[in-house]
Amino acid sequence: MNLQSARNYDLQAAVLEAEQRFVTANPKSKANFEAACKAMPGGNTRTVLFYAPYPLTIAKGEGCYVTDIDGHTYADFLGEYTAGLYGHSHPVIKKAIQEGLERGIVLGGHNEIEVKLATEVCRRWGMERLRFTNSGTEGNLMALNSARAFTGKNKIMVFEHGYHGGVLSAKPGGSPTNAPYDFIYCKFNDTANAKKLIAENAKELAAVIIEPMMGGAGCLPADKEFLHALRDETKKHGVLLILDEVVTSRLAPGGAQQIYGVKPDLMSFGKYIGGGLTFGGFGGRADIMDNFDPRLGAKAWPHAGTFNQNQLTMSAGYAGISQVFTEEACVAFNKKGEGFRARLQDIVKKRSLPVTLTGMGSVTMIHFCEGPVKTPDDANKSNTLARDLMHLDMLSRGIYMTRRGMVNMSVPMGDKEFDAFASAFDTFLGERSALLQKA
Ligand SMILES: Cc1ncc(COP(=O)(O)O)c(C=O)c1O
């Protein structure tokens, strides 16, 4: 056994022990999971929520806390994978939904609030026109299909390990449940590779789609020159640039595109902009989007969706961005996020462990490997057993977070929650330092 596998042997034993502790503490979640398995494969209808030995069942949420059905309360740093930006019971969002309910549930017609939300989202994120959808996945599907219809070309360039939705995974080798797009795979943060592929495929390439900060692949910000090169090359070759801002729209008042100074032809958005309800959308250049104008008659591009402008979502979304996550609040929130990540970074530094933090603003990822971590290949070196152990240990200390190590802030969080996270993380690194040491 070499040193690395000896370390993993010990880590495996520690994970098994932590799982046992988890099972003892969570009998009701176990029973609910077993019942769920009878109706849903693996008891699951949303893959990302699964983790071993079984996921907690959440009974309720308040502010930035969630409580599971066994009665444990956790500070919620999972933040509904960034859609839970407002927490679980923000009074402004609740009031907006209640007012929406007073108007009726499904109205089957236009409503005034969709105009307000559309106008404000266009203004904030620099789109000339937009359309709403029910999810970020659908927003991306529609953005990709718009690019193909507009350019008359078929291929799409994606970045290895990128994620644009349940049917739009850019894992090398593809995914059996992907929508059948003809993807060209490029390396993230590899300008030479991107320029070459765009030039070589220009005649068939409809669009390049990219997350300005890769989320699922490990919260990896694009290099500035890389994103600018994509903008320049796509423009030069008549290819559309689509920014997937489903996660990154929250990082600045005008999204990541404002931070980078890169204007896409189209963008997608979703998550918290619907106030925490089912939501997504896409938009950008008027000359592309205006093809959806139904007044064009038979020539108009169709786009359907029963719940696209559901007034409950529209109400929650508009109240959220106009009253809570205002431009000033967004700046302050992400500044706080930078401070929080720096604080965690100091904790790591003090302990000299092979742990690396990445992210931007209010979104952070913890990797169990030496840095720098700039690409999915770097991130894939992270030790998954260490990651599993952190997740189970943090849960046992009252911190709810993602299994993969992504940490998402929400608006109701304050010093109490940041202190609780920092202290639990420090204790985890201290207690487990021998296991986490470099082999
Ligand atoms: C970057 C990115 N794009 C698209 C999506 C898909 O959004 P939804 O889950 O709302 O379909 C996600 C979801 O996590 C995402 O992270």
Q: Is 335 a catalytic residue?
A: no
Which of 247, 269, 273, 313 is the pocket-test mutation for ligand 1 (most atoms within 8 Å of CB)?
Answer: 247
Pairing assessment for the beta strands 73-76 and 65-68 based on DSSP bridges: antiparallel
Of 153, 155, 195, 271, the active-site residue reads: 271
Q: What is the pLDDT of residue 351?
A: 93
Q: Which CATH architecture has domain 91-324?
A: 3-Layer(aba) Sandwich (3.40)
Q: Which residue has the tokens 């390439």?
A: 205
Domains 3-85+333-436 and 91-324 share a fold: no
Q: Hey, which of 78, 271, 272, 363 would you mutate to test ligand 1's pocket, going by the most ligand atoms within 8 Å of its Cβ? A: 271
* 164 CA from centroid of ligand 1 (Å): 5
pLDDT at 1: 46
**Domain regions of the chain by residue span:** 3-85+333-436, 91-324
Residue 348 to residue 364: CA distance in whole angstroms: 14
Rounded to an integer, what distance in angstroms lies between the CA atom of residue 353 and that of residue 349?
7
- Residue identifier of the C-alpha nearest atom 7 of ligand 1: 136
Q: How far is CA 175 from CA 125, 163, 167, 168, in A?
A: 31, 11, 8, 8
CATH topology of domain 3-85+333-436: Aspartate Aminotransferase, domain 1 (3.90.1150)
Does 142 contact ligand 1 (Cβ within 6 A)?
no
Q: Which residues of the chain carry a pLDDT beneath 70?
A: 1-7, 438-439
244 among known catalytic residues? yes
Q: Whose CA is nearest to atom 13 of ligand 1?
A: 165
Atom of ligand 1 at shortest distance to CA of 216?
Answer: 16
Which residues does residue 60 pair with via DSSP β-bridges, in sequence order? Answer: 67
> What are 157's strand-pairing partners?
184, 208
Cis peptide bond prior to 372, omega within 30° of 0: yes
388 catalytic per annotation: no
Q: In whole angstroms, what is the distance from residue 421 CA to residue 400 CA? A: 10
**Nearest residue by C-alpha to atom 5 in ligand 1:** 165
159: Cβ below 6 Å to ligand 1? no
Three-class secondary structure assignment of 44-74 = CCCHHHCCCCCCCCEEEEECCEEEECCCCEE
HEC sequence for the chain: CCHHHHHHHHHHHHHHHHHHHHHHHCHHHHHHHHHHHHHCHHHCCCHHHCCCCCCCCEEEEECCEEEECCCCEEEECCHHHHCCCCCCCCHHHHHHHHHHHHHCCCCCCCCHHHHHHHHHHHHHHCCCEEEEECCHHHHHHHHHHHHHHHHCCCEEEEECCCECCCCCECCCCCCCCCCCCCEEEECCCCHHHHHHHHHHHCCCEEEEEECCEECCCCCEECCHHHHHHHHHHHHHCCCEEEEECCCHHHHCCCCHHHHHCCCCCEEEEEHHHHCCCCCEEEEECHHHHHHHCHHHHHHCCCCCCCCCCCHHHHHHHHHHHHHHCCHHHHHHHHHHHHHHHHHHHHHHHHHCCCCEEEEECCEEEEECCCCCCCCHHHHCCCCHHHHHHHHHHHHHCCEECCCCCEEECCCCCCHHHHHHHHHHHHHHHHHCHHHHCCC
Measured from the CA of 140, which atom of ligand 1 is nearest?
Answer: 4
For residue 165, the CA-to-ligand 1 centroid distance in Å is 5
CA of 438 to the centre of ligand 1 (A): 34
Residues 308-332 pLDDT 10s: 999 999 999 999 999 999 999 999 9
Q: Report the C-alpha gap between 223 and 212 in whole angstroms.
A: 9
341-348: long-range pairs with CB below 8 Å, 24+ = 343/418, 343/422, 344/421, 344/422, 344/425, 347/422, 347/425, 347/426, 347/429, 348/429
CB of 406 within 6 A of ligand 1: the answer is no
